[in-house]
Structure formats: C-alpha cells, structure tokens
Structure 1
Amino acid sequence: MTYSLFFFIRDVTDGNLVGWIDRSLARASVGTAQNRAYRMRHALIEPLRNIYGVSDKVLNMTLADVLLAALASKPLWRETGSGMIAIDTLVHNFLHRTGITRRLGGEHTYGGSCYSVGGCADIVRRIARRIDARQFNPNYPQHFPRFVQHAIWRYSAQSELNVCNGNNIDDGLRCQNGNCALFRRCDRSPLRD
C-alpha cells in the first residue's frame, strides 16, 4: 500500500498531491449545480481507488478529515469533505435495524453496495438534506452528510454512546432496548433471520 501510494503521488499527481486535489476539485466544480458534490467527490475517490488495498470506506474517512481541516481559503476542499461518508458495519447495520434501508428501497448486503446508487452513502445523504447541521454548530454547513454519518457511528460505537450495536442487540432478534431514544420510531429489524 505504501509503495502504491508513493507511485500514485509520483506518477499521477507529479509529486504535488495538494495541487492535484486543487486542480481536480476545480475541474469537477465547473458546470451545473446538479451533481456538483458527486462530481467533486468522484474526482478524488475514483483515481485514488487505484492505490492497492485502499477501500471506499478508508478513502472517504481519510479524505473527509483532510479536506474538512483545510484553510478557509480552500472552500472546495471543505465542501467536498463535508459530503464524504465512511460506511462501516455499524452505520450499515444501524440503517438496516431501524428499517431505513428497507423504507427507502436500498436494501443490500454490507460492502461495495453501500457506495452504489441507493446504498448506505446515498441514504445518509438523503437524511442529511433534512437536517440543518447549523443547529448543532453555527459554523457547520447547512447540509453536512459527514456529520450525520458520524453521529450514526457515534450512536452505535462501543467506544462512544454504545446503543445500537451487536454487543447490545442479538443480531437474530428484534431490539428490546426500550430506553433507546429511537425505540418507538425504529423498525427494530433483526440483521439475520
């Protein structure tokens, strides 16, 4: 993976990863507003997929952190980073258990399908459109899919809120946690039959 990253930086970015990101985002941002966010994410993710051993999850997670930390003078970086979503089993399983994937017609198994049209990442983006993230922090963008994905992850992760995960819910049964804030609105679907 290290060699592959080295060759990518040397051969694709001509030794200037920051400049390559700037150029890629600038080119992708031109055109209609429709699909602009997709074009910018795709302009970075697609070429980086050629780095050996790097998954969509790792690319989205890493790039989101890097791009969101950019200076205010790089608004395209921040805009793109705010839409990068890392889908792990916790987020995927949350969307399944709650019935969100079924209700939105996006049922699929965990893996590459999470990033395909109608998969988990698209579902999180749809949810994020309904949430004004500025209510949590006035410095956040209004539409902030990465924030929504991270909130779902925190709700589930054992090291965070530790609510919706396999440690607390038998994967073959419906959730019985009546103390969960989502209990009455959740489908409580088992992960396996």
Structure 2
Amino acid sequence: MSFLDEIDDEVRNAGLDRAVALADTPPIFDWLVTTFSFQGISDRVARDYINKHGAASWFAIEAGERNAPSCPKLRSYWHFEGCRYDKTSFTCAEPDHIDACPLPRPHLRNGRLNAMAYSLFYFVRDLADGDLVGWIDRQLESAKGATRAELESARQEAVIGPLRNVYGVSDKILMMTLSTLLIGAREQRPIWYETGKAMLAVDTLVHAFLVRSGILQDCGIPHTYGACYGPGGCAEIIRTVADRIDARTLNPVFPKRFPRFVQNSIWRLCSQSGLNLCNGNRIDDRRACQIGYCHLYRRCSRTPLKSQEIVI
C-alpha cells in the first residue's frame, strides 16, 4: 500500500521533483541512465557496481563532447547508430578513433551501458533540444484518442515510441522507469500522472504468474514472453483487471483505476525482494506449485511452466 510513497521517496532522493519544476535536464538524465543500468542483472549486483565505480552523467559526457571527438559516430544521434563498442575486446566500428574516444571512459558494467548512455545523451540533445521535460510535455499534449484506452495508448506511445530507438533500452525498462518519473511529477503535471499510472512493465515474473495461475489461458491469448503487449496479452489482462478494482479501497490516496499498481502487486508476489512466492526458485516448474500457504493456492490452476510451450 506504500507504492506511491516509495515512488515519492525515489523522486525526492534523486532531485527529480525539483528538476521537473525547473525543466533541468541533467539530473533527470543521470537518474535515467543509472536506472537503465539495472536491467539484465540483480539490483544488488548493479547497485554494488555503481557504488564502487560510479555511473555516466550528463556533465561528463557533455565535457567530452566539447573536446570535439574525432570519431564520426560521435557527431549526432543519427551518426551514432552502429557504434558497436565492446568493453571486453575494446573494439568498435571505428577502431582508428577508439584510443581517443570518450565513450569508454565511464567505468560501467559493460560496453552496452556506455553506448546506451551516449545514445540517450544524443537523443536528448538532438531530438529534445536539451529539454527533456519540455519534450515530454509536447509529446503528451500531441497525443490524441477517441476513448480513454486510445488516449492512454497514444500518450504512452508518444513517449515510449521515440525512446525505443535509444540503444540498449527495452520496452519493459522504459515503461518501468518512465512510469516512476511521470507518477512522481503528479503534483506539477497531472497529464504525466495520467500517463504514468497506466504504464505497465511486464517482466518474466509477471508473465510466468499469469501462466502458472491459469489466468493467461482463461482470459487472454497464450503467447511467449516478449509478446505480452499484443492483443490478448499480459498487459491487456492487467488493464482489464485494473478496470474492476477500485484502488482507493486499498489506499485512499490512490487513483480509482491504477494499472501500474496492479502490475506491481503481481511482481511483488513473485519477486525475491517482495513476498518471494511465485517464482522459479520456490517452485519446481516441472510440477504444480506446492506452496499451500499462499493465499491464492485454492484459486490458482498451479500450471507447471515447463508443460507450457507458451513460456520460452
């Protein structure tokens, strides 16, 4: 029930509330690239690495740009495509320039994160004119839809769609990260809140829960993980469930309809950092779940994942 409080704490600790109010891009950029670096590995390992080695930052990348790097890939967002920097082999698409290249200098966990940071920097500088807050405002205001569902979808796509072309970020990490930013700005920008509270981050835990419980088979269209945002997919099921739950009965400060909270609640049931119940560490996926004390046990179909071709 503390979901909004946790978001507000993160927003305040990162200075995002002040950055949004002042349209100050660097703190937002720094938070985004740090948050994006948590993908593909446990939060603890990612956090420990950042604490030891630091993260990429707007001002550091901008300082490197002022020195006019010789690499033709570092001219603009459009030139950057195909950089192919690899940290382990210290190679890239322009090997004649790599020794003087500033891109490898942030000591990040892998080369993909270095490339992601630069790709996002060029996106914000070249496509958003250095004003990320203003760009989000314009994107959301330009979205149109005849129904609530169409408007929600159009607003999400207006922001997520262009950012999807930033190197190294997935829909899941974009949805998860941007929903926090947009929800956290709700006092200043209601349209951000309306968009953020409807964003869903469907990861493997959420997808597997919907399969194990039988909900996907009964209410949606069976699919492999990765197709969760299509018609009849996991995201559509969660939005339908959210339509039937008045979240204000759980916490009066919540909005009545809160899809992001519903998705996050499923994730917390499954995650090791949450209730740690419905996941592959606790359940032998060759057999039906045997966690009898789970509140959902009698209502769950307890479908073994490895008997389902839809989970790959």
TM-score, normalising length: structure 2: 0.60
Deviation at 1:117, TM superposition (A): 2.2
Q: Equivalent residues in 2 for 1:1-193 (5 A)?
A: 1-28=116-143, 30-34=144-148, 35-111=150-226, 113-193=227-307
* CA shift digits 1:106-154 (9 cap, x unpaired): 211112x012222111111111111111111111111101000100000
| Structure 1 counterpart of 2:220, one-letter code | G
Higher Rg of the two aligned structures: 2
Deviation at 1:33, TM superposition (A): 2.9
SS at match of 2:256: coil
Which structure 1 residue ranges, 5 or more long, are not aligned? none
Aligned mates of 1:33, 1:22 — CA distance in 2: 20
Aligned mates of 2:244, 2:287 — CA distance in 1: 30
* CA shift digits 1:74-111 (9 cap, x unpaired): 01100100011111111111010001110113211112
Aligned mates of 1:85, 1:23 — CA distance in 2: 22
Change in CA separation of 1:31 and 1:167 when aligned onto 2, cut-off 3 Å: closer
Aligned mates of 1:109, 1:16 — CA distance in 2: 38
Aligned mates of 2:279, 2:145 — CA distance in 1: 42
Aligned mates of 1:12, 1:185 — CA distance in 2: 49
Change in CA separation of 1:53 and 1:124 when aligned onto 2, cut-off 3 Å: same
CA RMSD of aligned residues (A): 1.1
TM-score, normalising length: structure 1: 0.95
Q: In terms of mean alpha carbon deviation, does 145-154 or 70-79 score higher?
A: 70-79
Deviation at 1:71, TM superposition (A): 4.0
| Structure 1 counterpart of 2:152, one-letter code | A
Aligned mates of 1:128, 1:177 — CA distance in 2: 26
Which structure 2 residue ranges, 5 or more long, are not aligned? 1-115, 308-312
SS at match of 2:194: helix
Per chain length, whose mean CA-contact separation is higher, i.e. which structure has more relative contact order (CA < 8 Å, sep 6+)?
1
Q: Identity over aligned residues, as a percent?
A: 57
Instruction: Confirm or deny: 8 A CA contact 2:160 2:171 kept in the other structure.
Output: yes
Aligned mates of 1:160, 1:149 — CA distance in 2: 13
Instruction: Confirm or deny: 8 A CA contact 2:247 2:256 kept in the other structure.
Output: yes
| Structure 1 counterpart of 2:287, one-letter code | L
Q: In terms of mean alpha carbon deviation, does 46-55 or 100-109 score higher?
A: 100-109
Aligned mates of 2:231, 2:158 — CA distance in 1: 17
